[in-house]
Structure 1
Amino acid sequence: MMPSAKFPDLTDASVLITGGGSGIGAALTEGFALQGAKVAFIDIAEAPSTALCDRIEKEIGRRPLFLNADLRDIEALRAAAAKAAKAHGPVTVLINNAALDTRHAAEEVTVEFWDDNQSINLRPHFFSAQAVAPGMRQAGGGSIINFTSTSFLINHPDMPSYTAAKAGIIGLTKGLAGRFGKDRIRVNAVAPGWVITDRQRELWVTDEVLAAHVAKQCIKDVMQPEDMVGTCLFLASDASRMLTAQTLIVDGGYL
């Protein structure tokens, strides 16, 4: 369920979301469109992204701008960010959501796998922030929201490159917050617990495993992609004007 809160300062805000075509990203695309924001999102998957735009336009009356790009290609990422700014004005809200949580055994990781994994899960967070920062500065400020994960906090054993990247995102968040604060650009991180997206259901969810996980949460509800939207709306809005360099854990109280 989408949050009921409205943030008037997000109306017509220029928002850019990476990985905005599916999962948590799709919920964020819809959630910001519901606020009246001008939403652009980058995704590598064309068909589901176009279908998402069609649905949001039909239901809300505002069509997101889909930018097809592979975030491993930094020049393509920069070009996509420039297109978002050209279409909607300087980006004042950036959400670095894109990630790939493919399982991998430590014993089998090659240099090539490691580098490719980091090029999806960590490197784009920096270069997208670098791309939009001048426009945010020109606009008088902005908000950068980096998605990390609780996976490295619970010592997840089956994806060491991914957990290393997710831990690195917190360091990046704090470093960029220190650098950009003078320009009233806030940089924060969101660390979701186990959010049950379609990908999670297809690959890893079983009734038994999910029930055991939820039993350890303080709030005994299965977390959905929409449960990440409210936190990001708050961090994007002027309601969090003096909040920066922080990591907000959204896991139902699992930790």
Structure 2
Amino acid sequence: MVTGTGPVCDPAASLAGKSVLITGGGSGIGAALTLGFLSAGAKVTIVQNQDGSAFCDQAEQHTGTRPHFINCDLTDVPALKRSFAQTRETQGPISVLINNAANDQRHSTEEVSEAFWDWSQSINLKAQFFACQAAVADMRSIGGGSIINLSSISYMMGNAGYPVYVAAKAGITGMTRSLAREFGADNIRVNALIPGWVMTERQKTLWATEDAVAAHLERQAIKQVLMPQDMVGPALFLASNMSFGMTGQALVVDGGVVATG
């Protein structure tokens, strides 16, 4: 009889020393995740297009451990795959992949060109798929792993103002379910983490007006804004043995805006 690994009470107990790759791990939600996994004793590589050197300095000061930074255009699939090879050489086979990077640039249907559609799908959906593909061999070689794909409640709410992004986020949930079935026999778990409106610096700078935030809080059951660090606990849970029997699922962390089940 094949048995599971069993849960542990502390995520750090099953994440210490593990090799973790986080796309977009140097800003916003990704930065909070990087700090959280470093604090849990994991070895973390950040893969993103923006320079992450200053954040790596801050992370090292905060946690005592420096993340490894790889500058990479995630829409360049060969370069993305090379970043996985570099991560493997630097910190060992990847045990946890967090597909966090995204771009929620606002747009209307009428203004969308074919080029914009392709670019948005490339960063928001295509990069996640090929990152999953690149991680599988590592996870098989070590007997399993955890993939966490960040989606968004935007598609569950039917939000207007960025339809191409919303389409990609819906696609992520469908992809997650399919890959969970495909990789389950290899003890590779694939789940979606679905945040609500998280007040990153980008959101506060571009869209989080006082009226917009107040209107959103009216929809939330919990009347407090969500911050990037509020995604850390759920991500640690999905990555660790605490969720060993959980795959193909969508974990919504939105303060109670949408209902699942």
**Do Structure 1 and Structure 2 share a fold, with TM-score over 0.5?**
yes
Q: Distance in 2 between matches of 1:82 and 1:127?
A: 13
Q: Distance in 2 between matches of 1:219 and 1:13?
A: 34
Q: Of the candidates 181, 184, 199, which is equivalent to residue 187 of structure 2?
A: 184
Q: Of the candidates 245, 248, 254, which is equivalent to residue 245 of structure 1?
A: 248
Q: State the secondary structure of the residue aligned to 2:157.
A: coil
Residue 32 (str. 1) matches residue 37 (str. 2): yes
Q: Of the candidates 210, 213, 223, which is equivalent to residue 213 of structure 2?
A: 210
Amino acid aligned to 1:114: W
Q: What does residue range 36-115 of structure 1 map to in structure 2 within 5 Å?
A: 36-46=41-51, 49-115=52-118
Which runs of at least 4 in structure 1 moved beyond 2 Å after TM superposition?
Answer: none
Match of 1:16 in 2: 21
- 5+ residue gaps in structure 1? none
Deviations 1:36-92 (A, max 9, x none): 10000101111xx11111011112110000110000100110011111111111001
Residue 150 (str. 1) matches residue 153 (str. 2): yes
Deviation, 1:184, is 0.1
Q: Distance in 1 between matches of 2:164 and 2:215?
A: 25
Amino acid aligned to 2:31: A
Q: State the secondary structure of the residue aligned to 1:7.
A: helix
Count of aligned pairs: 249
Amino acid aligned to 1:127: F
Q: State the secondary structure of the residue aligned to 1:94.
A: strand
Q: State the secondary structure of the residue aligned to 2:85.
A: helix
Q: State the secondary structure of the residue aligned to 1:254.
A: coil
Amino acid aligned to 2:50: A
Q: Distance in 2 between matches of 1:146 and 1:99?
A: 11
Q: Distance in 2 between matches of 1:200 and 1:24?
A: 11
Amino acid aligned to 1:40: T
Amino acid aligned to 1:188: N
CA contact (8 A) 2:11 2:240 kept: no
Residue 173 (str. 1) matches residue 176 (str. 2): yes
Deviation, 1:193, is 0.6
- Across the aligned residues of Structure 1 and Structure 2, the Cα RMSD in angstroms comes to 0.8
Q: How high is the sequence identity, in percent, across the aligned residues?
A: 53
Deviation, 1:167, is 0.3
Deviation, 1:6, is 4.7
Give the TM-score taking structure 2 as reference length.
Answer: 0.94
Q: Distance in 2 between matches of 1:185 and 1:177?
A: 7
Q: Distance in 1 between matches of 2:82 and 2:133?
A: 12
Q: Of the candidates 200, 204, 207, which is equivalent to residue 203 of structure 2?
A: 200
